[in-house]
């Protein structure tokens, strides 16, 4: 079934690619992008990984597993996540975009598929469908446009690597001399931190976000953002081991509240980044969860109260010191904070029955260097020292290529 989906996605892409020049030759329609002649792009991503620890055993100690694809790339050669994008103005009022992700496991997944308004007045824009949430800064950006091969640890533990929602978004851009936007989202709650797919009416998650930014002098631009994500997980399960090292499945039901503060500073002489430029980027997350934690749902199924307050942040800088060449450094740090488990505090179980939640503050150092042959090609070397696991350090080396072809929209600030 998965193979059939993959073949179908590639066949549609090929058919549409052929259709574009035909329409231009007949002269019966415009040669530009439109509803009958959509913009099509392809992103190819491949990675070679050398890791001192088995990526299959990856975990981030001190934090509840997120059910997302948060592990590092595989050892050896592998296909990274590649994308096929279709986009076009449907009419004067709406624009449609669909992005199909081709995963290393030979699966075709709908990464984004949404319609967006074009004709609303007074700075308003509405979006509906499946899209990357506006929580934080990096979450909305597709992986091929990241400055490093993988996501920061904070995005992994608080957003399951990257939060995609089925929902609606309304954003307003203020008519001011500086940049200011305010937006709200209502989603189904299909991914972590919401947990398992809801079988309920209404919304499973809500997000508020705002950004403010401007210019400093003739070469510096800045932007800061604040967002608040609220969800109510129901039976959000995760795998762990008990004090006898037997596999168990636990689940959480309750409230999850996440604050995210982001900042980006860009510098380029006279705002011209062609020769040299510098980008400083960082985010801070703080999450509070409270509710009920059920231990060993398949057997004893004991429940008790659960409360946690945890945080994490990263800071990275990327410097293009000459045309085509960039170097960068990123530091990640997580704080397991305070966790209160009722089943432990009241006596039936011990902390050894919840080893993944044992207090630990993961860190990671990452350096990278990349070369871009053009705006459509990039080759990157990345080296990291990852201390996500409390008992071992994972020394990682990745060699990555990212190649794109076809129409492609502008990237986020």
Query: Whole-angstrom Cα distance, residue 309 to residue 229?
Result: 15
Reduced to 3 states, what is the DSSP secondary structure of residue 115?
strand
Buried b (16+ CB within 10 A) or exposed e, 244-259: eeeebebbbbbebbbb
- For 166, how many CA atoms within 13 A lie in the half-sphere containing its CB? 10
Task: Return the residue matching tokens 């020049």.
Answer: 21
Task: Measure the N-to-C terminal CA separation of the chain; round to a whole number of Å.
Answer: 39
* pLDDT value at residue 36: 67
For 7-44, the three-class secondary structure string (H helix, E strand, C coil) is HHHHHHHHHHHHHHHHHHHHCCCCCCCECCECEEEEEE
Query: Whole-angstrom Cα distance, residue 117 to residue 109?
Result: 24
- Residue ranges of E strands in 296-393: 302-322, 325-341, 363-374, 377-387
CA 174, chain centre distance (Å): 27
Query: Whole-angstrom Cα distance, residue 401 to residue 79?
Result: 10
* pLDDT value at residue 35: 56
* pLDDT value at residue 106: 83
Sequence-distant (≥ 6) Cβ neighbours of residue 252 within 8 angstroms: 64, 195, 233, 235, 236, 238, 289, 291, 292, 293, 294, 306
Query: Whole-angstrom Cα distance, residue 36 to residue 407?
Result: 15
Mean pLDDT by 10 residues, the chain (413 residues): 47 42 35 70 96 94 88 92 92 95 87 94 96 97 96 97 96 96 95 80 93 94 98 93 94 96 95 93 98 93 96 98 97 97 92 95 98 95 97 97 85 79
> What is the phi/psi pair of residue 344, to 5°?
-90, -45
DSSP code at position 269:
G
Reduced to 3 states, what is the DSSP secondary structure of residue 360?
coil
User: Quick count: other Cβ atoms within 10 Å of Cβ 76?
Assistant: 10
């Amino acid at each position: 079934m998965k193979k059939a989906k993959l073949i179908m996605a590639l066949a549609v892409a090929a058919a549409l690619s052929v259709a574009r020049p035909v329409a231009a030759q007949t002269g019966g329609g415009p040669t530009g992008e439109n509803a009958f002649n959509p913009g099509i792009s392809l992103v190819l991503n491949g990675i070679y990984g050398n890791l001192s620890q088995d990526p299959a055993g990856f975990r981030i100690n001190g934090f509840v597993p997120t059910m997302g694809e948060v592990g590092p790339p595989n050892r050896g050669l592998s296909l990274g996540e590649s994308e096929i994008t279709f986009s076009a103005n449907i009419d004067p009022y709406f624009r449609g975009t669909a992005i199909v992700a081709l995963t290393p496991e030979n699966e075709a997944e709908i990464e984004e598929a949404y319609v967006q308004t074009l004709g609303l007045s007074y700075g308003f824009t509405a979006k509906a469908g499946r899209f990357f949430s506006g929580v934080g800064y990096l979450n909305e950006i597709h992986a091929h446009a990241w400055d490093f091969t993988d996501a920061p640890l904070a995005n992994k533990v608080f957003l399951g690597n990257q939060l995609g929602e089925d929902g609606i978004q309304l954003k307003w851009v203020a008519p001011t001399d500086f940049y200011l936007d305010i937006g709200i989202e209502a989603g189904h709650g299909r991914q972590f931190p919401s947990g398992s797919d809801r079988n309920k009416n209404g919304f499973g998650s809500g997000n508020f976000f705002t950004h403010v930014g401007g210019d400093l002098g003739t070469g510096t631009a800045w932007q800061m953002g604040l967002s608040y994500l609220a969800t109510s997980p129901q039976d959000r399960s995760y795998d762990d081991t008990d004090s006898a090292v037997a596999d168990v499945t636990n689940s959480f039901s309750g409230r999850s509240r996440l604050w995210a503060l982001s900042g980006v500073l860009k510098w380029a002489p006279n705002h011209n980044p062609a020769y040299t430029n510098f980008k400083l980027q960082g985010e801070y997350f703080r999450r509070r969860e409270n509710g009920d934690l059920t231990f060993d749902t398949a057997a004893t199924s004991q429940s008790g109260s659960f409360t946690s307050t945890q945080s994490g942040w990263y800071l990275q800088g990327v410097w293009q010191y000459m045309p085509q060449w960039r170097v960068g450094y990123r530091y990640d740090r997580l704080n397991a904070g305070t966790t209160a488990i009722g089943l432990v505090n009241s006596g039936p179980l011990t902390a050894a029955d919840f080893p993944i939640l044992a207090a630990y503050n993961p860190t990671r150092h990452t350096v990278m260097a990349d070369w871009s042959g053009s705006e459509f090609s990039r080759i990157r070397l990345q080296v990291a020292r990852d201390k996500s696991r409390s008992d071992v350090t994972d020394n990682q080396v990745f060699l990555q290529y990212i190649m794109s072809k076809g129409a492609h929209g502008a990237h986020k600030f």
